[in-house]
């Protein structure tokens, strides 16, 4: 069989079917006739005694499944006819019962307490067991004060002073600087941790999406550089290291009242270097005639979080039974992705200073209450400790001296000695595939070494 495309006819050998292919396959004609061009009938088309072949018409068959589905849809929407039998039965005094009431058995379920299942969270409203009508003002690790250091001074009744020459940096051994350069590279570049870092942003092009960067996280950098620096300093002072102990990830809580406001400081210290003996006071001069900074029209409690569900707790995590329980130096980590302003503005330098002061005050005051009792106001002797805040690149050093916990009394004030914000280096990155450390600052190491050797 072949098709003659010019005449649009079908050829069976020498025989030709005179019909239009398009008409034959598209037109719903009932039948067609076959004619031959030869005088003898073809063997392959021979059908009985007839030389002509009749094509059967196409049957318009229907899909029974479609009809069944259509019929089901129509019959499924039919409403049962109300025959009035129910009314007649009720009129005759017979009770009509639904079959569901007899076939379905009524079951009562009892609540079973299964070990391992969590209780439902309490609603955060007045029905909560820790709800208080009096509002609590809280300051946590991710908060900063809007006015920074001046607001922290007024809130904690503290005077600010500059670090004296005796408290400033001292010389370090010559081989320490090379070791510290290695520590910086190991903490920022050579560590095995590879995690997705925060997104890069350009203020001039806020809609531009930069490729995601993988590397060492900020938390990992801070822990590595602090632990390795302290380990290096301990190796240079084996006699002092015998009287020191390093605690990590300690949680402090300090509730107090300030001008009839209930305040609670709930902060963590990433590392606390403790000693057997407390540090000696920096100054014993009277502070009655010295004045606090004026932050009018702001209140000292502005931008503190307000909460009604809370527990007032005095927590100093280091037990008094331990020999080395006196706080010597508190190390605080700063992470720009966690520490933020309440109004989503950039954290300023004075706010970083205020955060360092609040950390030092919380640790010193909680230690004073654990030593002298929760109701102590006037301290028998001042409590002094050192505070270092860092993000792995900048370092802020300060010394806090707690003289009183009576914050409403202006006759005795606390003291805070601090220096400027110092950078350990300018840049530490890969350039042309090579690790590069630029702008190494030796003064930061000297100040840290002086803090460690301070007794």
Q: For the segment 42-89, what is each residue's pLDDT rounded down to a tens digit? A: 454 444 444 445 666 666 677 888 889 999 998 888 887 888 888 999
Below-50 pLDDT ranges, the chain: 1, 3, 5, 7-40, 42, 44-52
User: Residue 157: its pLDDT value, please?
Assistant: 93
Phi-psi region of 354 (alpha: psi -120 to 50; beta: other; left: phi over 0): alpha
Q: How many residues does the chain have?
A: 455
Helix count and strand count (H, E) for the chain = 10, 17
- As a whole number of angstroms, the distance between CA 158 and CA 149 comes to 10
User: Residue 307: its pLDDT value, please?
Assistant: 94
Q: What are 161-220's pLDDT values in tens digits?
A: 988 765 555 677 778 889 999 999 999 999 999 999 999 889 899 899 999 999 999 999
Q: First vs last Cα of the chain: how many Å apart?
A: 111
* 3-state secondary structure (DSSP) of residue 248: strand
Of the candidates 362, 373, 396, 400, which has an alpha carbon nearest to the alpha carbon of residue 384? Answer: 400
Give the contacts of 234 (CB within 8 A, at least 6 positions apart): 240, 241, 244
- As a whole number of angstroms, the distance between CA 312 and CA 306 comes to 14
Place of tokens 């002061």: 357
- As a whole number of angstroms, the distance between CA 7 and CA 21 comes to 9
- Residue environment code for 104-129, b if the CB has 16+ CB neighbours within 10 A, otherwise e: eeeeeeeeeeeeeeeeeeeeeeeeee
The pair of structure tokens assigned to 20 is 């239009």
Give the contacts of 310 (CB within 8 A, at least 6 positions apart): 130, 132, 136, 138, 264
Q: How many CA atoms lie within 13 A of 267 on its CB side?
A: 31
β-strands 261-275, 131-139: how paired? parallel
Give the contacts of 195 (CB within 8 A, at least 6 positions apart): 214, 215, 216, 217
User: Residue 36: its pLDDT value, please?
Assistant: 44
User: Residue 10: its pLDDT value, please?
Assistant: 46
β-strands 427-431, 394-404: how paired? unpaired
User: Residue 169: its pLDDT value, please?
Assistant: 59
- As a whole number of angstroms, the distance between CA 19 and CA 161 comes to 112
pTM of the shown model = 0.74
């Amino acid at each position: 069989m072949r098709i003659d495309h010019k005449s649009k006819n079908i050829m069976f050998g020498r025989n030709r079917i005179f019909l239009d292919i398009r008409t034959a396959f598209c037109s719903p004609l009932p039948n067609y006739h076959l004619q031959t061009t030869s005088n003898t009938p073809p063997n392959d088309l021979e059908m009985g005694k007839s030389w002509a072949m009749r094509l059967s018409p196409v049957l318009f068959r229907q899909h029974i499944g479609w009809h069944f589905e259509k019929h089901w849809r129509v019959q499924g929407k039919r409403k049962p006819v109300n025959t009035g039998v129910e009314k007649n039965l009720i009129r005759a005094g017979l009770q009509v019962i639904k079959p569901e009431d007899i076939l379905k058995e009524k079951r009562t379920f009892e609540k079973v307490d299964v070990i391992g299942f969590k209780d439902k969270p309490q609603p955060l409203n007045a029905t909560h067991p820790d709800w208080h009508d009096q509002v609590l003002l809280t300051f946590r690790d991710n908060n900063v004060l809007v006015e920074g250091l001046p607001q922290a001074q007024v809130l904690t009744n503290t005077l600010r002073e500059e670090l004296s020459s005796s408290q400033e940096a001292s010389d370090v051994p010559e081989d320490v600087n090379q070791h510290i350069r290695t520590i910086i590279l190991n903490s920022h570049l050579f560590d095995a941790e590879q995690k997705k870092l925060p997104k890069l942003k350009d203020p001039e092009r806020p809609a531009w999406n930069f490729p995601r960067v993988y590397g060492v996280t900020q938390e990992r950098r801070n822990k590595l550089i602090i632990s390795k620096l302290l380990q290096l300093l301990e190796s240079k002072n084996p006699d002092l290291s015998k009287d020191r102990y390093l605690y990590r990830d300690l949680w402090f809580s300090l509730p107090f009242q300030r001008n009839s406001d209930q305040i609670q400081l709930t902060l963590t210290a990433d590392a606390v270097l403790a000693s057997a003996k407390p540090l000696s006071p920096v100054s014993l001069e009277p502070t009655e005639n010295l004045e606090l900074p004026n932050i009018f029209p702001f209140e000292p409690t502005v931008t503190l979080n307000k909460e009604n569900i809370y527990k007032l707790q005095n927590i100093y995590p280091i037990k008094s039974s331990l020999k080395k329980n006196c706080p010597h130096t508190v190390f605080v980590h700063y992470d720009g992705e966690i520490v933020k302003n309440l109004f989503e503005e950039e954290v300023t330098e004075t706010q970083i200073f205020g955060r360092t002061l609040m950390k030092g005050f919380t640790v010193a005051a909680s230690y004073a209450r654990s030593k002298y009792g929760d109701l102590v106001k006037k301290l028998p002797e001042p409590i002094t400790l050192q505070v270092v805040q860092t993000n792995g690149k900048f370092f802020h050093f300060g010394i806090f001296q707690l003289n009183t916990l009576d914050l409403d009394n202006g006759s005795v004030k606390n003291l805070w000695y601090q220096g400027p914000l110092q950078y350990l280096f300018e840049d530490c990155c890969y350039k042309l595939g090579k690790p590069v450390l630029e702008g190494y600052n030796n003064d930061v190491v000297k100040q840290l070494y002086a803090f460690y050797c301070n007794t």
